[in-house]
């Protein structure tokens, strides 16, 4: 279901949703996590926001039992599992509040980060509530940030991960394209807006992949897995504007199990 720009109620809902998406909450890392095993870092896409079944002790980080890290750990029984990904996290907040669970004996790490660094919430607000030209301009500003400022943030984060977990296999996951162009949505964003947002996702994934390679990490994209399941596909694995508002623009449970989990499992 596409966002319907002209509904006043939808506009109110979107404003609340993007405000929630933009709030970076510190991860409540578990200090008692056993050495070694698997550590899941990152933002809401790793926490599982949008998929429901949130762990009661994760608070506003909203870590889900349906998120790909939890699903992988349940299927593979690592020696230990530290799940500290958090809604709203940036490269800086991941580095500042999530890395304490890493150690020299950590063997596997997964991470998603970068979308919040380039103002994802602001871009979606501009595209949903304002004109096509405003949307495209906002997307272009985000793309400029991806190309100019984001690489250093990613590089610093990856360097910090490697420093704390020198023996770990680190998997960096990307982000899906949001929209199937010429799809089933009959209202909401224009094709020009949807195309611009998809292009920005491709640029973001390219920047992340390059910095991951520079760090000696493994990048695993999810675009192929989500193809045919974008918004406007008729079988979307992503939430549009929905209730509760914090689920908006995040993968559903099917997106975690059918998209992110296979992408991680193939390289983990």
Q: What is the CATH number of the domain that holds 150?
A: 3.40.50.1110
Residue identified by tokens 């979606």 is 124
pLDDT > 90? residue 237: yes
Q: Alpha-carbon distance 67 to 253, whole Å?
A: 7
Q: Which of 44, 46, 64, 87 is catalytic?
A: 44
Domain membership of residue 41 (yes or no) is yes
- Domain housing 188: 8-265
Residue-wise DSSP of 128-183: HHS-HHHHHHHHHHHHHHHHHTHHHHHHHHHHHHHHH-TT-EEEEE-----B-TT-
How would residue 3 be classed by pLDDT, with cut points 50, 70 and 90? very low
**Short-list 28, 172, 27, CA closest to 94:** 27
Q: Is 229 in the active site?
A: no
For the chain, give the number of residues.
Answer: 268
For the stretch 122-159, pLDDT in tens is 898 899 899 999 999 999 999 999 999 999 999 999 99
Q: Alpha-carbon distance 23 to 12, whole Å?
A: 17
Q: Is 44 in the active site?
A: yes
For the stretch 245-255, pLDDT in tens is 788 889 999 99
For the stretch 41-76, pLDDT in tens is 999 999 999 999 999 999 999 999 999 999 999 999
Q: Which of 93, 103, 229, 250 is catalytic?
A: 250
How would residue 242 be classed by pLDDT, with cut points 50, 70 and 90? confident
pLDDT at site 36: 62
pLDDT at site 8: 36
Domain membership of residue 91 (yes or no) is yes
How would residue 22 be classed by pLDDT, with cut points 50, 70 and 90? very low
Domain count, the chain: 1
Q: Is 109 helix (H, G, I), strand (E, B) or coil?
A: strand
Domain membership of residue 3 (yes or no) is no
Domain membership of residue 1 (yes or no) is no
Q: Alpha-carbon distance 83 to 93, whole Å?
A: 15
């Amino acid at each position: 279901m596409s966002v319907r720009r002209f509904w006043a109620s939808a506009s109110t809902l979107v404003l609340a949703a993007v405000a929630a998406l933009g709030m970076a909450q510190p991860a409540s890392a578990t200090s008692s996590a056993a050495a070694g095993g698997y550590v899941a870092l990152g933002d809401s896409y790793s926490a599982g926001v949008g998929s429901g079944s949130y762990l009661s002790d994760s608070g506003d980080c909203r870590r889900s039992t349906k998120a790909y890290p939890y699903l992988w750990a349940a299927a593979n029984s690592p020696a230990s599992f530290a799940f500290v990904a958090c809604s709203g996290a940036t490269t800086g907040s991941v580095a500042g509040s999530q890395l304490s669970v890493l150690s020299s004996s950590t063997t596997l790490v997964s991470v998603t980060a970068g979308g919040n660094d380039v103002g994802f919430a602001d871009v979606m607000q501009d595209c949903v509530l304002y004109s096509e030209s405003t949307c495209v301009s906002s997307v272009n500003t985000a793309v400029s940030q991806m190309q100019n400022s984001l690489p250093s943030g990613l590089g610093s984060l990856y360097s910090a991960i490697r420093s704390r977990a020198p023996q770990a296999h680190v998997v960096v996951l990307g982000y899906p394209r949001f929209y199937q162009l010429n799809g089933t949505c009959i209202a909401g964003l224009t094709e020009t807006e949807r195309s611009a947002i998809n292009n920005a996702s491709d640029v973001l994934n390219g920047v992340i992949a390059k910095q991951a390679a520079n760090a000696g990490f493994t990048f695993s994209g999810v675009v192929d897995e989500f193809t045919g399941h974008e918004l406007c596909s008729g079988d979307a694995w992503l939430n549009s504007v929905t209730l509760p508002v914090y689920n908006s623009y995040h993968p559903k449970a099917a997106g975690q199990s059918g998209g992110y989990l296979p992408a991680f499992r193939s390289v983990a």
